[in-house]
Amino acid sequence: MIRRLLSVLHARNLEFLRDRGTLVFTLLLPVTLVIGMGFVFGGPERPLFKVGVLAGRLDGQAHPFLHERYVAFITLADDGAALRKVTHQQVDLLLDLRPPERYWVNTDSPKGYIVEKLLLAAEPAAVREPVTGAAVRYVDWLFPGILGMNMMFSCLFGVGYVVLRYRKSGFLKRLHATPLTAFEFLSAQVLSRLGLILLVTTILYAGIGTLIGFHNAGNLLLLALVGVVGALSMIALGLTIAARFSSEELVGGLLNVLTWPMMLLSGIWFSLEGSPRWVQWVAHAFPLTHVLDAARAVMLDGAGLPQIAPNLLYLAATALAFLAFGAWSFRWRIE
Amino acid sequence: MSTPILEVRELVKQYPATLAVAGVSFSVPEGVCFGLLGPNGAGKTTTIEIMEGILPPSAGAVCYRGEPLGNRFRQEAGILFQKTALQDFLTVRQCIALFRGLYTTGLEVDEVMRLCALEKLAGRDARKLSGGQQQRLLLAIALVNDPAVLFLDEPTTGLDPQARRNFWELVQSIKARRKTIILTTHYMEEAELLCDEIVIMDRGRIIAQGPPRRLLHEHFAEVLLELPRQEFPPAARTLPLNIIDASDRVEISTHDLEATLRTLLEAKVPLTNLRIRPANLEDLFLELTGTELRP
């Protein structure tokens, strides 16, 4: 069994590595995106203070600070998420207008220092809650999203179209005439794609991380585990689409139906905090959402295994479910 | 009597709108080249694909060495499909090595390449082979497990005459190694040259079965005279002769060559392009079905 699996795995790896166009595209797209995003968002901050406000309603009469010029006030609903924003310096100060009026300021943030002076001049009774934490630039936050997006496309389209091409060309039918089983064939495809994705993602992580000066706050091995389990889940999802169908249009359409909502709702580009609850439910059905949540928790917050265990369990469970469904519905030949 | 290597029993394949195979039965003795002949749509590819274990039958069964097709069959069968694509970007040697890795026993890659005269093409991209070279590679892949039974489904369709003859020589060298070969073809010359036993199918049924020479002997004691259709006057059709219409010619089957020639001369039929030949498998098909082979 291992010998047969390794034969198919080796041949598939050779095929991928010799397909220069696909290989270059796989590497070039995320590099271009990250450099572009870094250029757009990584420059000097705009001269605007951002203050997060925890309150049902911004009452300018009761709180004169809310009239300050050059300060943007952003209403936040989730206390924990709001506090993380201060820690990461994504807002310069967090104000809780619910009595007793309190505010959180990051003592490592120069802008926080200035906004605090403005606040105390307007509302001297506010209670101070100091926090610390290095700034997280948008490009730092985006970085895991770009890696995850590249992984998603590679998993879904890479595996989906390859299996479809094999079926349409009759190569699968020829393999079916050998002792190779569907499970061995699918496992070889999964392992081949997993290895290539990890290789490409490692290169991107090291290359782009150096380029934008990214610092991982968490454990690198834990991050690799997120990558492995996440890639397995998405490769298996791609296999469920490619397991049965023979029409390129249908498979292409189904893959697009999967990738576009994930592109928009999995939190690649922006956080879903504050979005309607149903949107968040939908988003949390996607494997990519769990990959990004776990990766950002490790990379930005230094989270450990217990914090990301629910994400890992979800990804592992979906990987198994998708693989089982893919193997069950697999067809060697065009019906 | 020894157990046949393959036994087909009451095989039926029903598609929603077509009965492709309508209850065929035959046995294949070990070590023979067994031909499945017939025009396109006769059901021979469906039959061979069921025998290969690729297609499930609607009814009936195929047994390999007395047992239903299973792991042993997959390990011991070599298959060359009518159309097969290989993985992109692989060399000839890598394609063979990939399939060699799928079997527990078999021939060395170098030996298979030597058998199929592929040594000089070992490093070439498999996509850049000519039609004849591609078929030799597919044959090499079919031989990689040193199969006891080799299925060749229309292996020379689309090849030029020289490549076809080269391929026949390869098949004859495999026959010499006492392998059982199941061959489908609609080239009667190919079947006559290679097959020890044949089954002729039409519309999903077997219409003749046996060694080619015996079948010809059973159906033809005569010789055939061929004349170009345009040189055969319409008035001559009323002559007391056994006249068979073929696509571009008229054939006359006779026991008494001299008497037939005299009749034609008396009727002033031009004999400049007359050809006299013994009956072949194509004639047998015409005799049995009343239609010419549909290529």
Closest residue, chain A, to B141 (C-alpha) = A174
Q: What is the arithmetic mean of pLDDT over A280-296?
A: 91
Q: Do A178 and B89 touch (CB under 8 A)?
A: no
**Domain span holding position B137:** 6-211
Q: Do residue B232 and residue B149 come from a single domain?
A: no
- If we measure between CA atoms, which residue out of A136, A107, A178, A138 comes closest to residue A37? A138
CB hemisphere CA count around A27 (13 angstroms): 15
Q: Do residue B59 and residue B200 come from a single domain?
A: yes
Peptide bond into A276 cis (omega under 30): no
- Asked whether the CA dihedral A96, A101, A107, A111 is positive or negative, the reply is positive
Beta strand pairing call for A127-131 and A102-106: parallel
Partner residue facing A176 (CB), from B54, B71, B103: B54
Q: Do residue A150 and residue A240 come from a single domain?
A: yes
pLDDT tens digits along A98-125: 877 889 998 888 888 988 988 888 888 8
pLDDT tens digits along B144-153: 999 999 999 8
Q: Do B52 and A177 touch (CB under 8 A)?
A: yes
Residues A216, A264: Cα–Cα separation, whole Å: 25
pLDDT level of residue A221 (50, 70, 90 thresholds): very high
Q: Do B99 and A18 touch (CB under 8 A)?
A: no
Residue B267: CATH number of its domain:
3.30.70
Any domain includes A335: no
pLDDT tens digits along B245-277: 777 888 888 888 888 888 888 888 888 888 887
Q: What tokens appear for B168 in the block?
A: 């026949």
Residue A149 has pLDDT above 50, yes or no: yes
Residue A150 has pLDDT above 60, yes or no: yes
pLDDT tens digits along B109-120: 999 898 888 889
Q: What tokens appear for A27 in the block?
A: 């590497």
Q: Do residue B186 and residue B232 come from a single domain?
A: no
Q: Do B77 and A177 touch (CB under 8 A)?
A: yes
Chain A nearest C-alpha distance from B5 (Å):
18
Residues B68, A263: Cα–Cα separation, whole Å: 50
Residues B196, A175: Cα–Cα separation, whole Å: 29
Q: Do residue B132 and residue B92 come from a single domain?
A: yes
Chain B nearest C-alpha distance from A174 (Å):
7
Tell which wins on pLDDT, A272 or A228.
Answer: A228
Q: Which chain A residues are closer than 8 Å to B90 by Cβ?
A: 11, 14-15
Q: What tokens appear for B204 in the block?
A: 């999903």
pLDDT level of residue A224 (50, 70, 90 thresholds): very high
Q: Which chain A residues are closer than 8 Å to B98 by Cβ?
A: 7-8, 10-11
ipTM of predicted complex = 0.77
pLDDT tens digits along B182-239: 998 878 888 888 999 999 888 889 988 888 888 877 777 678 888 888 888 888 888 8
A contact test, residue of B46, B84, B88, B182 with most A CBs within 10 A: B88
Q: Which chain B residues are closer than 8 Å to A14 by Cβ?
A: 89-90, 94
Any domain includes B73: yes
pLDDT level of residue A86 (50, 70, 90 thresholds): confident
Inform me whether the C-beta atom of residue A6 falls under 8 Å from chain B C-beta atoms. Answer: yes
Residues B131, B137: Cα–Cα separation, whole Å: 10
Chain A nearest C-alpha distance from B103 (Å):
7
Q: Do A15 and B53 touch (CB under 8 A)?
A: no
The residues on B that touch A, with CB distances below 8 Å, are 52-54, 71, 74-75, 77, 79, 81, 83-90, 94, 97-104, 141
Domain final residue, candidates A82, A105, A131? A131
Inform me whether the C-beta atom of residue A10 falls under 8 Å from chain B C-beta atoms. Answer: yes
Q: What tokens appear for B26 in the block?
A: 């035959």
Q: Do residue A93 and residue A206 come from a single domain?
A: no
Q: Do residue B238 and residue B98 come from a single domain?
A: no
Q: Which chain A residues are closer than 8 Å to B54 by Cβ?
A: 173, 176-177, 333
Q: What tokens appear for A188 in the block?
A: 């070889």
Q: Do B98 and A6 touch (CB under 8 A)?
A: no
Which phi-psi region, left, alpha or beta, contains residue B89 (left: φ > 0; alpha: ψ -120 to 50)?
Answer: left
pLDDT level of residue A194 (50, 70, 90 thresholds): very high
- So what's the pLDDT on residue A110? 84
Domain count, chain B: 2
Q: Do B81 and A174 touch (CB under 8 A)?
A: yes
Q: Do residue A119 and residue A225 come from a single domain?
A: no
Inform me whether the C-beta atom of residue A331 falls under 8 Å from chain B C-beta atoms. Answer: no
- So what's the pLDDT on residue A87? 86
Q: Which chain B residues are closer than 8 Å to A5 by Cβ?
A: none
Domain final residue, candidates A86, A114, A131? A131
Percent of chain A with pLDDT over 70: 90
Partner residue facing A170 (CB), from B71, B74, B85: B85
pLDDT tens digits along A233-269: 999 998 888 887 777 778 888 888 888 888 888 888 7
Any domain includes B293: no
Residue B1 has pLDDT above 80, yes or no: no
Q: Do B90 and A10 touch (CB under 8 A)?
A: no
Partner residue facing B90 (CB), from A15, A170, A173: A15
The DSSP string of B229-276 is: GGGS-GGGGGSSSEEEE-SSEEEEEES-HHHHHHHHHHTT---TT-EE
3-state secondary structure A47-90: CCEEEEEECCCCCCCCCHHHHCCCEEEEECCCHHHHHHHHHCCC
Q: Do residue B265 and residue B142 come from a single domain?
A: no
Partner residue facing B99 (CB), from A3, A173, A178: A178
Residue whose token pair is 């001559």: B236
- So what's the pLDDT on residue A34? 65
Tell me the count of A-B CB pairs closer than 8 A.
72
**Domain span holding position A15:** 2-40+137-329
pLDDT level of residue B58 (50, 70, 90 thresholds): very high
User: Quick one: which H or E segment has residue B223?
Assistant: strand B223-228
